[in-house]
């Protein structure tokens, strides 16, 4: 059995301690993210995933201005310090991938394949997860750390206004990325008996 895939999956971890020292050029990171999303599978090859890739000041604006200021009135004042620090830690990275699913693509599929109409929104969510995993793993292979965040729908309108995002794109996740500034936390695993059955 080739262990290459497993070693890549092992390398993909959640990294919160991000810095700006990317090991490869921004243009290469951009190309990597695009290719990972292109190659990710989707139902009926509908390619419903979309992405807005933010670098530098744009990524900082997302976390330090947009998300932080939307959260400020929602979080109790005495608890805001940790939110503030968390937003700053995402802004400390080199960029953020915004993962979207195109709702127009889903509606098209529902019209073309009425038998599966109820399933397409779920399939789209599955495709989104696959695109996220593909990008996360590709970044890890390039030595770039990342985490997966969920601030939609709170930030959707402001993000769309800032970067002219089409109305049919629905924000599903945000992935801040950058240099790995700390070792990864230890990961624990539940017992195999709780999750697997092999039957012959």
Ligand X SMILES: Cc1cc2nc3c(=O)[nH]c(=O)nc-3n(C[C@H](O)[C@H](O)[C@H](O)COP(=O)(O)O)c2cc1C
Judged by the rule CB under 6 A, the positions of this chain that interact with ligand X are 13-14, 147-150, 187
Alpha helices in the chain (DSSP H): 4-11, 26-39, 56-60, 68-71, 80-91, 103-112, 120-141, 156-163
Q: Is residue 55 within 8 Å of residue 144, measured between CB atoms? A: no
CB 163, min distance to ligand X, A: 21
**CB nearer to ligand X: pick between 187 and 195:** 187
What 3-state class would DSSP assign to 115? helix
Answer yes or no: are the C-beta atoms of 168 and 135 closer than 8 Å.
no
- Of 113 and 184, the one with the shorter C-beta distance to ligand X is 184
Q: How many CA atoms lie within 13 A of 155 on its CB side?
A: 26
CB of residue 95 vs ligand X: minimum separation in angstroms?
Answer: 17
Nearer to ligand X, 14 or 35 (CB): 14
Residue (61 or 86) nearer to ligand X, CB = 86
Distance in Å, CB of 61 to ligand X, minimum: 20
Beta carbon of residue 179, minimum distance to ligand X (angstroms, whole number): 17
Distance CA 133, CA 39 (A): 11
């Amino acid at each position: 059995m080739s262990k290459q895939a497993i070693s890549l999956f092992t390398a993909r971890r959640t990294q919160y301690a991000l810095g700006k020292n990317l090991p490869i050029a921004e243009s290469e990171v951009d190309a990597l993210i695009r290719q990972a999303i292109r190659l990710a599978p989707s139902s009926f090859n509908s390619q419903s995933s979309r992405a807005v890739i933010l670098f530098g000041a744009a990524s900082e604006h997302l976390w330090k201005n947009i998300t932080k200021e939307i959260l400020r009135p929602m979080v109790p004042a005495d608890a805001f310090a940790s939110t503030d620090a968390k937003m700053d830690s995402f802004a400390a990275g080199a960029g953020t991938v915004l993962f979207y699913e195109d709702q127009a693509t889903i509606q098209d599929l529902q019209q073309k394949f009425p038998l599966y109409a109820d399933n397409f929104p779920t399939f789209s969510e599955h495709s989104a997860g696959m695109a996220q995993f593909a990008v996360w793993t590709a970044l890890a292979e390039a030595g770039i750390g990342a985490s997966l965040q969920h601030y939609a729908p709170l930030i959707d309108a402001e993000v769309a206004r800032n970067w002219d995002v089409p109305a049919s794109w629905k924000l599903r996740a945000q992935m801040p990325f950058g240099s790995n500034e700390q070792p990864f936390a230890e990961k624990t695993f539940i017992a195999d008996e709780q999750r697997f059955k092999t039957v012959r």
